[in-house]
Amino acid sequence: MRRIDHPLLSPSLGAARQLSSFHFGEAGRGEKVYIQAALHADELPGMLVAWQLKQHFAALEAAGRLNGEIVLVPMANPIGLDQTLLGYQLGRFEQGSGLNFNRHYPALADSVYAMVRTALGNDAAANVRLIRAELSRQLAELPVKNELASLRHTLHGLACDADVVLDLHCDARAALHLYTGTPLWPQCEPLARYLGAHATLLATESGDNPFDEACSQLWWQLAERAAADGLTVPIPPACLAVTVELRGQASVHPTLAERDADAIVAFLIHRGVIGGEVPPLPELLHPATPLAGSETLAAPHPGVVSFRVEPGATVTAGQPLVDIVDPLDDRVTTLASQYGGVVYAQENRHYATTGMELAKIATATAFKTGKLLSA
Ligand SMILES: [Zn+2]
């Protein structure tokens, strides 16, 4: 195991933060896996999983069982981790700018395509190497203007040439679920099985460039541009990037963390990055569904909120799910899913302001367009 500390751009006199990455195995031999936790710094289940993974990877490396390279960033956001307001941690948005730490990563498909277009050939592996080299070069040359940009730049630089990227997050209160690119589902399905995902939400474009898409989307965008140019060159979806939502913010428990770390190790054995006997694949709990079919139940008026089902419940269209009670004007509203599906996340606060999003349901019906993720 090798530790590298990456200093971030200093935001202010006397202030300096750094990011630490831990490297296992051998770069350039076999696949590269990149795993980070707590990019949204108030989402801590992943940090505990990452620490468990660190012990696993160190032992596996010592046993000579790594067939590739693994890069682990157990704490991906030193800026957000250090933000508190009136006793509450604020880890989703940078306090100074209001920007979401998991949005606005650079989209480089056009500029990479312009540089590699004439060099692409019939060898898929050679195309992948060419594209990764150009992507890394362009990323390294991007200007970095402040501390947040420097954090994004460092994380993206560590991950951009990986075959597998796992970004460990959680929701407010949730069942384990995944977000990934639609073309990546066949590669992602074993991960969904090992982790016991209750939902996997697929999109080719979620909106606002979250980290996983910055790593994966470029590949199918390049394939589309080549096809539009009449080039018959193979460009595979060479980065399986997945946002792994490890239940809810309070789901920080050593037993859960051990189970999730074991599942990720099992997936990496299945993938061939770790040597050993492949653990049997569990049943897939639920088929993947379109992110455009994620139904959000929002409060039509303020009130006290109670939930009738737990996250992970499979519900039918019209089934009562959430009650909102206004104790002053005696308004009582019960919300139901229009389509039915799996309730994969809920709000963890029990007072709703008007319009507040209270529950999310993975449905099989793609009914939304435009930006598909919440802010
Ligand atoms: Zn998150």
pLDDT at position 368, please? 86
229 Cα–ligand 1 center, Å: 37
Enumerate helices (H) and strands (E) in the chain, giving the number of each. 8, 20
In which residue ranges of the chain is CATH 3.40.630.10 found? 2-287
Classify 340 in phi/psi space as left (phi over 0), alpha (psi -120 to 50) or beta.
left
47 Cα–ligand 1 center, Å: 12
41 Cα–ligand 1 center, Å: 8
285 Cα–ligand 1 center, Å: 22
**Whole-number Cα distances in Å, 253 to 49, 74, 234:** 9, 16, 44
- Dist CA 192 CA 286 (whole Å): 9
Four-residue CA torsion sign, 263, 267, 273, 275: positive
178 Cα–ligand 1 center, Å: 11
48 Cα–ligand 1 center, Å: 15
- Dist CA 212 CA 203 (whole Å): 11
93 Cα–ligand 1 center, Å: 10
327 Cα–ligand 1 center, Å: 33
7 Cα–ligand 1 center, Å: 23
42 Cα–ligand 1 center, Å: 8
Question: CATH number of the domain at 290-362, out of 3.40.50.2300, 3.30.70.600, 1.10.357.10, 2.40.50.100?
Answer: 2.40.50.100
57 Cα–ligand 1 center, Å: 24
203 Cα–ligand 1 center, Å: 17
129 Cα–ligand 1 center, Å: 30
170 Cα–ligand 1 center, Å: 5
168 Cα–ligand 1 center, Å: 8
246 Cα–ligand 1 center, Å: 10
Q: Can you state the angle between helices 124-141 and 147-159, rounded to 10 degrees?
A: 160
pLDDT at position 372, please? 81
40 Cα–ligand 1 center, Å: 5
250 Cα–ligand 1 center, Å: 13
pLDDT at position 185, please? 98
Strand arrangement, sheet containing 320-326 = 331-336, 320-326, 303-307, 351-352
At residue 262, what are phi and psi to the nearest 5 degrees? -60, -40
29 Cα–ligand 1 center, Å: 31
59 Cα–ligand 1 center, Å: 29
Contact in structure between 230 and 263 (CB atoms under 8 Å): no
296 Cα–ligand 1 center, Å: 17
Instruction: List beta partners, residue 202.
Output: 180, 290
Contact in structure between 359 and 347 (CB atoms under 8 Å): yes
The helix (H) or strand (E) run that includes residue 33 is: strand 32-37
**Whole-number Cα distances in Å, 373 to 57, 156, 267:** 32, 20, 26
Tokens 């202010």 belong to which residue?
Answer: 12
Which amino acid makes up residue 270?
H
In which residue ranges of the chain is CATH 2.40.50.100 found? 290-362
323 Cα–ligand 1 center, Å: 26
- Dist CA 294 CA 6 (whole Å): 37
Contact in structure between 237 and 32 (CB atoms under 8 Å): no
- Dist CA 40 CA 90 (whole Å): 9
pLDDT < 50: residue spans in the chain? none
Domain 2-287 is of which CATH architecture?
A: 3-Layer(aba) Sandwich (3.40)
pLDDT at position 371, please? 82
344 Cα–ligand 1 center, Å: 14
At residue 196, what are phi and psi to the nearest 5 degrees? 70, 45
DSSP 36-65: EE-SSTT--HHHHHHHHHHHHHHHHHHTT-
101 Cα–ligand 1 center, Å: 9
DSSP 93-123: B-TTT--BTTS-----HHHHHHHHGGG--S-
Contact in structure between 315 and 321 (CB atoms under 8 Å): yes
**Whole-number Cα distances in Å, 30 to 59, 115, 154, 218:** 19, 26, 23, 21
- What is residue 363's DSSP assignment? -
Look at residues 55, 62, 73 and name the one whose alpha carbon lies nearest to residue 265.
55
pLDDT at position 369, please? 84
169 Cα–ligand 1 center, Å: 4
